[in-house]
A and B are shown apart, each in its own frame.
Chain A
Amino acid sequence: MTYSLNFAAVWRSFDLLLQGLALSLGLALVAILAGCVIGLITAFGLVSKSVVLRKPAGLYVTIIRNTPILVLVLFSYFALPELGVRLGKIESFVVTLAIYSGAYLAEVFRGGLIAIPPGQREAGLAIGLSEMQIRTSIIIPLMLRNVLPSLGSTMISLFKDTSLAAAIAVPELTFEARKINVETFRVIETWIVASCLYVATCSLLAALMRAVERRLAVPR
């Protein structure tokens, strides 16, 4: 064992890592927000009585959830242009992660929806609310409370999945770390620092979600 640790080279490029982290967070934020919208609509499709809504929603979830995200990322960036869909690196990745998040979040939301007793909808109907008013005032607020714990861990997973953008040279945290690794040959130090940045960010995310959970908890 002749390797001696020397972090100095990594610290010199630390701002590159931070820029990478900022981009990672940005990618995750946009993709997850879009994914929440896609997931919510899909989840209502999944629990719908209508086959016309249920089947396409189910097909989407099946295809996307059963394909590795790396394959989806590579497909979007390398194969789609051949089919006439040309997007920049960042756009291509964000769209892919959004579609991927949508499928996972749809399943999370579906779990939260089926846990709501049917009496809640009936009570809404009985006072004359429309189905849409019942959704916005009763079903979605209750569903969100049901899913917060699993939503937090799904979001953390999705944030970590931004590291796959390195495969198509999006300059996020993992990509920057690899660049520093290659330039400085400080392989252990670089990856330790990069890992610490991921751990710290994810812990922060988890704490944030806990706070939201506490804030929205129904008093009893």
Chain B
Amino acid sequence: MTNLLEIRDLHKRYGTVEVLKGVDCSMRQGEVISIIGSSGSGKTTMLRCINMLEEFQGGTISIDGQEIGYETVGGVRRRKPEREIARQRALTGMAFQQFNLFPHMTAAGNVMLGLVKVKKMSRDEARGLAEKWLDRVGLLSRKDHYPGQLSGGQQQRVAIARAIAMNPKLMLFDEVTSALDPELVNEVLQVIKGLAEDGMSMLIVTHEMRFAYEVSSRVIFMNQGRIGEEGDPREMFLKPKTERLAEFLKTSTFN
């Protein structure tokens, strides 16, 4: 059986600065993988390559066996047509550090947009699904509120509902609690935990070590553009094999 996600020898440069120096990673259906590491280690960049928000110059990323973003025709690697890339992006859902809700649309409107424009659902059908997912993140009563009328934690939960409603095969979480006040972090983490329990496949870039420890089936430690260490969260947090990870864990708070 093919892996859900297969990353091989991923290389990414910004100009002359190489930020990903050959990353390999495979992930099975239903896995929850947390990606940890200090800032600048390449963890967010790796996540953003998976849905082509970043271009990458070398290596391949495949989801369910289909190569993402690039194809090689006659030995020449080239970007796939934009329409194809847009379709592939919908294989994944993403939640962002800054939520990025559309401020001129209500919570329900935010969730409905992709359903109507990408999935071509009728507005009624889309509204039904939007309400179902807003209910799931505990915000059905806020469906007609605009992002500006919601707290940070509520906005992030709407953003997660917006991504999940598109029925992605893989959810990407990019430091989703980093912009939140401490007392709002938990409500967002609870939503993610619930999705993990439902068997959603997730890649989670996070600084919440306790959360990574509790929710993940596997942890990846990124270090200077490479995978420094990976494995079972219990083993990694309690008995780090590399000096680097031990150092990193010492400087992070585990609460």
Contacts and interface: CB of A to CB of B under 8 A. Distances in A.
A130 B163 contact: no
Q: 5 closest pairs, A vs B, by CB?
A: A220-B148, A128-B90, A127-B114, A123-B100, A119-B100
A218 B146 CA distance: 8
B87 A128 contact: yes
A7 B111 CA distance: 63
A53 interface: no
Interface string B113-147: 11001100000000000000000000000000010
A130 B82 CA distance: 8
Given A119-B96, A122-B53, 15 more contacts: A117-B100, A122-B96, A123-B96, A123-B100, A123-B101, A123-B159, A123-B162, A125-B51, A127-B166, A128-B90, A129-B118, A130-B82, A131-B82, A137-B113, A220-B149
Interface of B: 51-53, 82-83, 86-87, 89-90, 92-94, 96, 98, 100-104, 113-114, 117-118, 146, 148-149, 159, 162-163, 166
Given A119-B96, A138-B102, A145-B104, A125 B53 contact: yes
A126 B94 contact: yes
A108 B43 CA distance: 38
Given A128-B87, A218-B146, A220-B146, A123 B118 contact: no
A120 interface: yes
Interface of A: 117, 119-120, 122-123, 125-131, 133, 137-138, 141-142, 145, 218-220
A141 B109 CA distance: 14
Contact of A126 (B51, B101, B104, B117): B51
Given A120-B102, A141-B104, A145-B104, A128 B146 contact: no
Given A218-B146, A220-B148, A129 B117 contact: yes
A122 B163 CA distance: 12
A126 B148 contact: no
Given A126-B53, A130-B86, A218 B104 contact: yes
A218 B148 contact: yes
Contacts of A145: 104
Contacts of B146: 218-220
A125 B102 contact: no
A219 B106 CA distance: 9
A120 B90 contact: no
Contact of B104 (A129, A131, A142): A142
